[in-house]
C-alpha cells in the first residue's frame, strides 16, 4: 500500500501586542481583471479624446489657412472686380438709353405727319403748353383756351386727321391767364400704329 503523506497544518500566531504588530497589505486587487479592463478602457477613451482634439485643431488651422489664402487672392483681384462692376454699370446705362430710344420709335416721317396734324387744327384762341408720349401709340396734350367750345372743336378736328385714331378728354378746369378767365385742358390722342410706314412696306 502506498504510504499516505501527512500534511502539517501551519498556523501562524502573532503574540506581539497590537501596537507592535505589522499589518500585511493586500495588493491582490491590483491584479483583478475588472480593475485592469477598467483602466485600459479609461486610457483608450483618453487617447481617443486627445486624438479627436488634435484632429479638430488641425482641421481648424487648415481652414483658417485656406480662408486667409482666399482672402488674399480676392484682395489681389479686387481692382479687377471694381473695373468689371464699373463696366457693368456703364453697360446698364447704355442698355437703358437704347431701350428708351427704341420705345420712342423715332421715325421722322411719322412725327412730321403727327405734329402737322396736331398743330394745323388748333383754334385761334387756343395754345398748347405740353406734348408728351405716354405709351407706344399715345400722346398727352395739355393746353389753354379762352373759349370753352374750342376744346370740343379741337377734339373733333383731331379725330378727322389721318394720323389720329381716337381722342379722349382727360380733364378740363377753369384757370386765370393774365387776369382773364380761361380753360386748362388735357386730352389723350391715340395715333395709328402704321403711321409713316406706308411707303416702307
Same domain, 119 and 183: yes
| 39 and 84 assigned to the same domain | yes
CATH number, position 185:
3.30.1360.100
**Residue 83 domain-assigned (yes or no):** yes
Predicted confidence at residue 199, as pLDDT, reads 45
Helix, strand, coil distribution of the chain in percent, nearest 5? 55, 20, 25
Q: Give the DSSP letter of residue 161.
A: S
146-184 pLDDT, tens digit each: 999 999 999 999 999 988 999 999 999 999 988 899 999
Residue pointed to by grid coordinates 394745323 = 120
Same domain, 112 and 195: yes
Residue 13 lies in a domain: no
Per-residue pLDDT, 61? 87
Q: How many CB atoms lie within 10 A of CB 190?
A: 14
What is the structure's pLDDT at 10? Answer: 58
Residue 79, SS3? Answer: helix
pLDDT of residue 201: 41
Are both 35 and 55 inside the same structural domain?
yes
**The pLDDT of residue 1:** 44
Together in a domain, 113 and 182? yes
Q: Does a structural domain hold residue 20?
A: no
65 and 117 both lie in a single domain = no
Instruction: Name the residue range of residue 126's domain.
Output: 108-200
In a domain, 7, yes or no: no
Q: Which residues of the chain have pLDDT under 50?
A: 1-4, 198-201
**Does the model's pTM come out above 0.75?**
no
Q: How far apart are CA 99 and CA 105, in angstroms?
A: 10
Q: Kindly report the backbone phi and psi dihedral angles of residue 175, in degrees, each rounded to the nearest multiple of 5, phi listed first.
A: -135, 175
Kindly state whether residues 70 and 139 are assigned to the same domain: no
Tell which of 50, 84, 104 closes a domain.
Answer: 104
Q: What is the pLDDT of residue 37?
A: 75
Same domain, 119 and 178: yes
Judge if 99 and 121 occupy the same domain.
no
Specify the number of domains making up the chain. Answer: 2
Amino acid at each position: 500500500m502506498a504510504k499516505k503523506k501527512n500534511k502539517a497544518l501551519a498556523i501562524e500566531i502573532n503574540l506581539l501586542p497590537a501596537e507592535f504588530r505589522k499589518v500585511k497589505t493586500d495588493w491582490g486587487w491590483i491584479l483583478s481583471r475588472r480593475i485592469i479592463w477598467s483602466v485600459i478602457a479609461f486610457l483608450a477613451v483618453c487617447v481617443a479624446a486627445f486624438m479627436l482634439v488634435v484632429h479638430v485643431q488641425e482641421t481648424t488651422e487648415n481652414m483658417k489657412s485656406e480662408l486667409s489664402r482666399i482672402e488674399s487672392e480676392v484682395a489681389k483681384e479686387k481692382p479687377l472686380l471694381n473695373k468689371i462692376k464699373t463696366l457693368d454699370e456703364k453697360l446698364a446705362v447704355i442698355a437703358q438709353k437704347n431701350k428708351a430710344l427704341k420705345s420712342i420709335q423715332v421715325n421722322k416721317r411719322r412725327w412730321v405727319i403727327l405734329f402737322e396734324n396736331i398743330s394745323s387744327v388748333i383754334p385761334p384762341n387756343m395754345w398748347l403748353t405740353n406734348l408728351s408720349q405716354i405709351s407706344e401709340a399715345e400722346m398727352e396734350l395739355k393746353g389753354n383756351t379762352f373759349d370753352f367750345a374750342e376744346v370740343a372743336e379741337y377734339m373733333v378736328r383731331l379725330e378727322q386727321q389721318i394720323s389720329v385714331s381716337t381722342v379722349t378728354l382727360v380733364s378740363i378746369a377753369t384757370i386765370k391767364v393774365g387776369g382773364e378767365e380761361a380753360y386748362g385742358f388735357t386730352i389723350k390722342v391715340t395715333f395709328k400704329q402704321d403711321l409713316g410706314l406706308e411707303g416702307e412696306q
